[in-house]
């Protein structure tokens, strides 16, 4: 066991573990950041998506030994902590489109969308299908999510995202 | 439709259940008084209305509940406190179907308060009235009217209180926006009227007809939508209790495997680790989640694995061979006498065309994104379990039974959950967490891995459906023989007019654990029936829509069929090289027709457009309904195009997200939804039925591209199977 220093949502955390331990497990169980969800543990469903140095990543298959010193942003770090805080434009767009049913995939979808818009600010349907291919909504709200992503792109142009990178 | 009660096959009894080892006692006669006191005890004084149904709705039969048809059966509560806050109680669960919002609309509408004034307590066996479970699309048709009547009664009681306070005739009073208003302009708030009282009432008022709806019928937003986009909503896997430990189960490598030798010395050496062994039950508990995984990995087990188990290839022969045997296994019950009308032999002789086919339906998995999970905590001889299940009271019974406890020693609480689709009726995760927690002497959280969810949940039943049918020279159906082996009986009767019929369901010995699924067997039965109708039309040289209309006297099915056909431009595809298909049906009181457009592609065919028309009576929340219909179509695409469980030697061979393909963004064609709002008809459930015609619509469209095999997923004869893997 060794100590790892993780920078999550602008705060520094020291955690004990093995280098191969999953970042998602540390986020959820050591740091109490349960907004990132466990869905498959294989990097194939996207429920655990976070931003690492400005790139969307599947935290269930990211090893803590690989992210020391990098800036990690979870869904909790996207908007302010307080309950009434202004939402991130991507969150606003998902809420406005009601692009969810059970909501379990939503934090991961939101984070993946934040990552998508950083690389493709004005995505087409094909861009969205390709870049979000590893994000599953089993309730099948994909048509609404596509609308939300496009709406988020419009909102982001007027209110730039606040992601630490 | 099956109007003759002799032909009712009780689909839920077969399809929604695992072995019926559950017993519920009738509630004692003083249940009302005790329940009122309980609500006042929890909520404080104010006004309470208990909603009781004199006779349980027949269709709500899940597990054997015959003992619960007493007049004292309480279905729901509404409590109003001195500050005007309204709390409604129901045993239903929120699984993404938006029941929390749609039920809130009903209560707010009848009580004449804003949506924000209502809080719902759902699915807590200590607080909410008994409920059989959230399945069968019963929340809107059955629970919503109950809560609506309770809310209307509360409103009328408040008007009575105001009339008494002001010494005026209640006829001149009206309830509006949380206040009672008199003709002279005086108003008093609900909270002031309820303050300092302990008033209890039983439902007397009726529910408003749709022409008087204000909030119902409007697209009210999901009541706690913000908590999902911020990640703040606490699903069961997110729960934390003081001093909680983390559990990991050690699962057999194959079904039926038994441990021969267990070496847990490595795990026991880790400080703070409990190894729990109780027969075939083997699990570990540690203080940290990662420590629990390490401890589990340190346990080595030698297993004895039984041989000769059926495979995903041999299962169909197995199901037919064991049909009607009543053999052990999860499927050996629920059949009934076949429906026989007329003279099939004679009708067959007189038919101009006869078509026969045997359709194979594979097991498929629900794959709820939130896997099975539970947090269990023992205190003072009671156990509380938070878990994702569609049957909180059923799981309470399962836990009580597993530990030999009285049911009032078990509390089950269901946080709004990461979906179920019929896949979370059982409580194995709750029992396992409780067993681990009792051994470890601390609360324990257990979250299934995706491989465990695939292998140790249950599947939609596999089945074989044999259909033989004929038409005469005028294109009218002459006879209809339909034998369903193991899939289940939901959607079994044909809605078409056929003078000579034999329709039967044959339970079989299912090698895999099977249970409910969105739409139950209606998807399999609609697939076989509608593909067969399509084949009969083609064999007779008739247009498939015209052929159906000729044989259909049900006006509601005709309406959705004509709407879908019109919307997609039937019979001509919008572009050359495309092919259209269509299917229609009814299930759970609602009506659906689906039209699909496909084109040839490198790996067979590709779906390029879907049109669905849907009618479920009066629409409560049009946006929520649209969301459910779209979601059903997308989920239906999976079963239609690529979902199938592969298994051999007691092992699931594609039990991962990488190998079991579920619909993703790239798989979803443009979906056009036509909703038919029938304000003149009662609201039916809508979360399931839109799924049932997706596969046959695609299957019939694919017949324009090549020969389609009689099976799910829809497969062309020369298909290389490229669609079945995520790649």
**Cβ contact, residue pair B627, A98, below 8 Å:** yes
**Cβ contact, residue pair A129, B665, below 8 Å:** yes
Has residue B228 got a pLDDT over 80?
A: yes
Has residue B60 got a pLDDT over 50?
A: no
* Euclidean distance between CA atoms B717 and B721, whole angstroms: 10
Average pLDDT over residues B611-618: 98
* Euclidean distance between CA atoms B138 and B119, whole angstroms: 21
Cis bond upstream, residue A39 (ω within 30): no
Task: Pick the last residue of a domain from B422, B447, B472.
Answer: B447
Closest CA to B60 of B153, B2, B130: B130
Q: Hey, is the C-beta of B369 within 8 angstroms of any chain A C-beta?
A: yes
Are residue B470 and residue B437 in the same domain, yes or no? no
Evaluate whether ipTM surpasses 0.85: yes
Q: Which of A38, A74, A140 sits opposite B634 (nearest CB)?
A: A140
What residue numbers bound the domain in which A122 lies? 89-158
Q: Give the pLDDT of residue B336.
A: 66
Q: Which of A30, A34, A138 sits opposite B369 (nearest CB)?
A: A138
Burial of B169 (0-12, 13-18, 19+ CB in 10 A): exposed
- If contacts are CB pairs under 8 Å, which of residues 318-347 in chain B contact chain A? none
Tokens 């050591």 -> residue: A30
Task: Pick the last residue of a domain from B383, B416, B447.
Answer: B447
Q: How many CB atoms lie within 10 A of CB B227?
A: 16
With b for 16 or more beta-carbon neighbours within 10 A and e for fewer, the B521-534 pattern comes to bbbbbbbbbbbbbb
DSSP B8-21: ---HHHHHS-S---
The answer as to whether B491 is a domain residue is: yes
Q: Give the pLDDT of residue B16.
A: 47
Are residue B513 and residue B559 in the same domain, yes or no? yes
The answer as to whether A14 is a domain residue is: yes
Q: Hey, is the C-beta of B665 within 8 angstroms of any chain A C-beta?
A: yes
Nearest chain B Cα distance for residue A147, angstroms:
12
- If contacts are CB pairs under 8 Å, which of residues 228-257 in chain B contact chain A? 228-235, 237-238, 240, 246
* Euclidean distance between CA atoms B646 and B727, whole angstroms: 16
Tokens 């009434």 -> residue: A84
Task: Pick the last residue of a domain from A49, A77, A105.
Answer: A77
Mean confidence (pLDDT) of chain B: 89
DSSP A26: I
Q: Which are the contacts of B352, defined by CB distance < 8 A and separation ≥ 6?
A: B470, B471, B472, B473, B540
* Euclidean distance between CA atoms B436 and B403, whole angstroms: 12
Tokens 């009969």 -> residue: B536
More confidently predicted of B196 and B477: B477
With b for 16 or more beta-carbon neighbours within 10 A and e for fewer, the B193-210 pattern comes to bbeeeebbbebebebbeb
Are residue A105 and residue A73 in the same domain, yes or no? no
The answer as to whether B691 is a domain residue is: yes
The answer as to whether A83 is a domain residue is: no
pLDDT digits (tens, 9 = 90+) for B230-239: 999 999 999 9
* Euclidean distance between CA atoms B265 and B298, whole angstroms: 8
User: What are the backbone dihedrals phi and psi of residue A45, each rounded to the nearest 5 degrees, phi first?
Assistant: -120, -20
**Pair B261, A106: CB distance under 8 Å:** no
Are residue B275 and residue B147 in the same domain, yes or no? no
Are residue A8 and residue A71 in the same domain, yes or no? yes
CATH number assigned to the domain comprising residue A22: 3.10.20.30
* Euclidean distance between CA atoms B85 and B82, whole angstroms: 7
**Cβ contact, residue pair A74, B231, below 8 Å:** yes
Burial of B588 (0-12, 13-18, 19+ CB in 10 A): buried
CA distances from B99 to B84, B90, B105, B382, B391 (A): 23, 10, 10, 30, 15
CATH number assigned to the domain comprising residue B683: 3.30.365.10
**Cβ contact, residue pair A39, B371, below 8 Å:** yes
Using a CB-CB distance cutoff of 8 angstroms, which residues of chain B are in contact with residue A17?
290
The answer as to whether A165 is a domain residue is: no
Q: Give the pLDDT of residue B288.
A: 94
The total number of structural domains that make up chain B: 3
Closest CA to B168 of B188, B194, B141: B188
Q: Give the pLDDT of residue B334.
A: 53
Task: Pick the last residue of a domain from A42, A77, A112.
Answer: A77
What residue numbers bound the domain in which B434 lies? 236-306+391-447
Indicate the SS3 state at residue B333.
coil
Are residue A73 and residue A94 in the same domain, yes or no? no
Has residue B205 got a pLDDT over 90?
A: no
* Euclidean distance between CA atoms B424 and B353, whole angstroms: 44
Q: Hey, is the C-beta of B312 within 8 angstroms of any chain A C-beta?
A: no
The total number of structural domains that make up chain A: 2
Average pLDDT over residues B148-155: 91
* Euclidean distance between CA atoms B83 and B80, whole angstroms: 8
* Euclidean distance between CA atoms A57 and A102, whole angstroms: 22
- What band does B15 get if pLDDT is binned at 50, 70 and 90? low
Q: Give the pLDDT of residue A160.
A: 58
pLDDT digits (tens, 9 = 90+) for B303-331: 999 999 999 999 999 999 999 743 333 33
The answer as to whether B483 is a domain residue is: yes
Q: Give the pLDDT of residue B612.
A: 98
Q: Which are the contacts of B563, defined by CB distance < 8 A and separation ≥ 6?
A: B593, B613, B674, B676
Q: Give the pLDDT of residue B535.
A: 98
Question: How do strand B382-387 and strand B373-379 relate by DSSP bridges?
Answer: antiparallel
Length of chain B as a residue count: 727
Question: Between A and B, how many residue pairs show a Cβ–Cβ distance under 8 A?
Answer: 173
- If contacts are CB pairs under 8 Å, which of residues 426-445 in chain B contact chain A? none
pLDDT digits (tens, 9 = 90+) for A14-44: 999 999 999 999 999 999 999 999 999 999 9
Using a CB-CB distance cutoff of 8 angstroms, which residues of chain B are in contact with residue A36?
231
pLDDT digits (tens, 9 = 90+) for B511-561: 999 999 999 999 999 999 999 999 999 999 999 999 999 999 999 999 999
**Cβ contact, residue pair B289, A28, below 8 Å:** yes
**Pair A116, A131: CB distance under 8 Å:** yes
Number of H helices, E strands in chain B: 18, 28
pLDDT digits (tens, 9 = 90+) for B497-515: 999 999 999 999 999 999 9
pTM: 0.92
Task: Pick the last residue of a domain from A77, A104, A133.
Answer: A77
CATH number assigned to the domain comprising residue A114: 1.10.150.120
Region at B401 (left for phi over 0; alpha for psi -120 to 50; beta for the rest): alpha
Are residue B349 and residue B397 in the same domain, yes or no? no
Lowest mean pLDDT among A79-93, B158-172, B294-308: A79-93
Indicate the SS3 state at residue B506.
strand
Per cent of chain B over pLDDT 70 is 89
Tokens of B417: 């959950």
Task: Pick the last residue of a domain from B200, B229, B258.
Answer: B229
């Amino acid at each position: 066991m060794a100590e790892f220093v993780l920078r999550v949502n602008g705060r520094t955390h020291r955690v004990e573990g093995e280098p191969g331990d999953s970042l998602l497990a540390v986020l959820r169980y050591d740091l109490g950041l349960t907004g990132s969800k466990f869905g498959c543990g294989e990097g194939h469903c996207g429920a655990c998506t976070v931003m690492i140095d400005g790139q969307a990543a599947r935290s269930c298959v990211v090893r803590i030994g690989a992210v020391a010193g990098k800036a990690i942003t979870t869904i909790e770090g996207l908007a302010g902590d307080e309950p009434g805080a202004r939402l991130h434009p991507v969150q606003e767009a998902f809420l406005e489109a009601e692009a969810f049913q059970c909501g379990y995939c939503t934090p991961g979808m939101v984070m993946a969308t934040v990552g998508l818009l950083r690389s493709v600010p004005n995505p087409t349907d094909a861009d969205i299908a390709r870049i979000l291919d590893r994000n599953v909504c089993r309730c099948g709200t994909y048509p609404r999510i596509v609308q939300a992503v496009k709406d988020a792109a419009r909102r982001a142009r007027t209110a730039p995202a606040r992601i630490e990178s | 439709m099956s109007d003759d009660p002799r032909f009712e096959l009780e689909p839920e009894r077969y399809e929604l259940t695992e072995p019926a080892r559950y017993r519920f006692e009738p509630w004692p006669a003083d249940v009302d008084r005790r329940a009122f006191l309980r609500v006042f005890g929890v909520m404080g004084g104010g006004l309470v209305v208990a909603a009781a149904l004199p006779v349980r709705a027949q269709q709500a039969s899940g597990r054997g509940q015959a003992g619960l048809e007493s007049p004292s059966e309480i279905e729901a509560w509404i409590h109003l406190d001195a500050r005007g806050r309204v709390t409604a109680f129901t045993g239903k669960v929120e699984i993404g179907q938006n029941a929390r919002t749609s039920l809130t609309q009903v209560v707010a509408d009848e009580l004449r308060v804003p949506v924000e004034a209502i809080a719902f307590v759902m699915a807590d066996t200590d607080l909410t009235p008994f409920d059989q479970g959230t399945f069968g699309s019963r929340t809107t048709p059955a629970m919503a009217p109950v809560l609506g009547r309770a809310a209307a009664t509360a409103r009328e009681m408040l008007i009575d209180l105001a009339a008494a306070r002001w010494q005026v005739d209640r006829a001149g009073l009206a309830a509006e926006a949380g206040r009672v208003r008199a003709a002279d302009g005086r108003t008093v708030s609900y909270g002031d009227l309820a303050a300092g009282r302990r008033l209890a009432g039983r439902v007397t008022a009726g529910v408003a007809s749709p022409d008087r709806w204000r909030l119902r019928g409007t697209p009210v937003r999901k009541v706690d939508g913000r908590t999902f986009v911020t990640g703040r909503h606490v699903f069961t896997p997110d729960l934390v209790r003081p001093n909680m430990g983390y559990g990991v189960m050690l699962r057999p490598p194959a079904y039926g495997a038994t441990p021969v030798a267990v070496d847990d010395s490595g795990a026991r050496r880790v400080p703070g680790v409990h190894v729990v062994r109780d027969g075939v039950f083997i699990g570990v508990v540690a203080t940290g989640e990662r420590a629990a995984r390490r401890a589990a990995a340190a346990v080595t087990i030698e297993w004895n694995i039984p041989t000769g188990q059926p495979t995903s290839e041999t299962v169909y022969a197995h199901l037919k061979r064991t049909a009607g045997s009543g053999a052990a296994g999860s499927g050996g019950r629920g059949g009934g006498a076949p429906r026989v009308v007329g003279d099939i032999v004679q009708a067959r002789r007189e038919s101009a065309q006869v078509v026969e086919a045997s359709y194979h339906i594979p097991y498929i998995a629900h794959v709820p994104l939130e896997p099975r999970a539970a947090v269990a905590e023992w205190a003072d001889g009671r156990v509380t379990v938070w878990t994702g299940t569609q049957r909180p009271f059923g799981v309470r019974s399962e836990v009580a039974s597993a530990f030999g406890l009285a049911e009032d020693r078990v509390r089950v609480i269901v946080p709004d959950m990461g979906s179920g689709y019929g896949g979370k009726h059982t409580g194995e995760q709750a029992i396992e967490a409780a067993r681990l927690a009792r051994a470890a002497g601390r609360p324990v959280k257990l979250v299934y891995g995706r491989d465990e969810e695939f292998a140790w949940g249950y599947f939609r039943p596999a089945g074989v459906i044999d259909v033989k049918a004929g038409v005469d020279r005028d294109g009218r159906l002459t006879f209809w023989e339909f034998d369903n082996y193991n899939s289940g009986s939901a959607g079994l009767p044909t809605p078409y007019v056929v003078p000579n019929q034999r329709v039967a369901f044959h339970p079989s010995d299912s090698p895999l654990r099977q249970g409910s699924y969105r739409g139950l067997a209606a998807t399999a039965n609609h697939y076989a029936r509608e593909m067969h109708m399509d084949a009969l039309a083609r064999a007779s040289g008739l247009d498939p829509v015209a052929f159906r209309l000729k044989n259909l006297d049900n006006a509601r099915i005709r309406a959705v069929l004509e709407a879908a056909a019109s919307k997609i431009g039937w019979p001509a595809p919008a572009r050359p090289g495309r092919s259209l298909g269509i299917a229609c049906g009814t299930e759970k009181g609602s009506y659906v027709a689906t039209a699909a457009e496909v084109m040839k592609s490198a790996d067979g065919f590709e779906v390029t457009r879907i049109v669905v028309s849907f009618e479920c009576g009066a629409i409560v929340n049009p946006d929520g309904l649209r969301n459910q219909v779209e979601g059903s179509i997308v989920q239906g695409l999976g079963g239609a195009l690529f979902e199938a469980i592969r298994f051999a030697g007691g092992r699931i061979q594609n039990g991962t997200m990488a190998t079991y393909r579920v619909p993703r963004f790239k798989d979803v064609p443009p979906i056009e939804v036509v909703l038919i709002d029938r304000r003149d008809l009662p609201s039916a459930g809508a979360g399931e039925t839109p799924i049932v015609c997706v596969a046959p619509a695609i299957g019939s469209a694919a017949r324009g591209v090549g020969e389609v095999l009689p099976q799910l997923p829809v497969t062309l004869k020369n298909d290389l199977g490229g669609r079945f893997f995520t790649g």
